[in-house]
């Protein structure tokens, strides 16, 4: 959320800069004709539209890459993930995310020690893979025993 907030603030600063630039460079006279004002506003509109389109495309591409990373990690952990697209437009859930973001801002302002990220997670992944393999073998053994017991009962 911190990164997205930073990007959002950068986009807002960019829009403010376009307005400031238009005011500083184009509004130098005391009176303007309707055509001059329309030209200035159209130019400003085009600049903002172009900038926002670029940023929205960039943001969408970053989300695609992030989701790709998450799904790849899920596959490594043998998780099955699905996405409910109706959930991402649920206003209540979006408001919950907004409140979480505000809560995180308040929490980040306090000076609490933070947990350090794991430096070497490859060993834990390898341990998990070995455990998954062991459980698969145990499952296979139990299935074989179950079949044998069923055949004895019949």
144 domain residue, yes or no: no
Q: Where are the alpha helices (DSSP H) in the chain?
A: 2-26, 34-76, 91-109, 122-153
- Pick 5 or 48 by higher pLDDT: 48
58 found inside a domain: yes
Assess if residue 87 is contained within a domain: no
**Tens digit of each residue's pLDDT (9 = 90 or more) over 75-134:** 888 888 877 888 888 888 888 888 888 887 777 766 566 666 656 666 777 888 888 999
Q: So what's the pLDDT on residue 137?
A: 94
151 assigned to some structural domain: no
Kindly list the distances between the CA atom of residue 69 and the CA atoms of 28, 42, 58, in Å, as whole numbers in the listed order: 51, 40, 17
Q: Angle between the 91-109 and 2-26 helix axes, to the nearest 10 degrees?
A: 90
Q: Is residue 10 part of a domain?
A: yes
- Residue 46 resides in a domain: yes
What is the number of domains present in the chain?
Answer: 1
pLDDT one-digit tens code per residue, 19-41: 999 999 988 888 899 999 999 99
Instruction: Give domain status of residue 146, yes or no.
Output: no
Q: What is the pLDDT of residue 85?
A: 81
Q: Where in the sequence is the domain holding 28, given as residue range(s)? A: 1-65
Residue 145 lies in a domain: no
| Signed CA dihedral, 118, 120, 123, 129: sign only | positive
């Amino acid at each position: 959320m911190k990164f997205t907030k930073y990007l959002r603030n950068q986009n807002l600063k960019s829009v403010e800069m376009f307005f400031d630039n238009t005011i500083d460079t184009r509004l130098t006279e005391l009176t303007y004709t309707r055509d001059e004002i329309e030209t200035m506003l159209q130019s400003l509109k085009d600049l903002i539209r172009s900038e926002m389109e670029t940023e929205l495309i960039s943001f969408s591409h970053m989300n695609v890459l992030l989701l790709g990373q998450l799904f790849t990690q899920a596959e490594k952990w043998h998780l099955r993930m699905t996405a409910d697209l109706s959930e991402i437009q649920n206003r209540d859930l979006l408001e919950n995310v907004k409140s979480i973001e505000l809560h995180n801002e308040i929490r980040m302002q306090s000076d609490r020690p933070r947990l350090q990220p794991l430096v070497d997670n490859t060993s834990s992944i390898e341990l998990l893979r070995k455990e998954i393999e062991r459980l698969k073998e145990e499952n296979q053994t139990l299935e074989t025993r179950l079949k044998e017991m069923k055949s004895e009962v019949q």
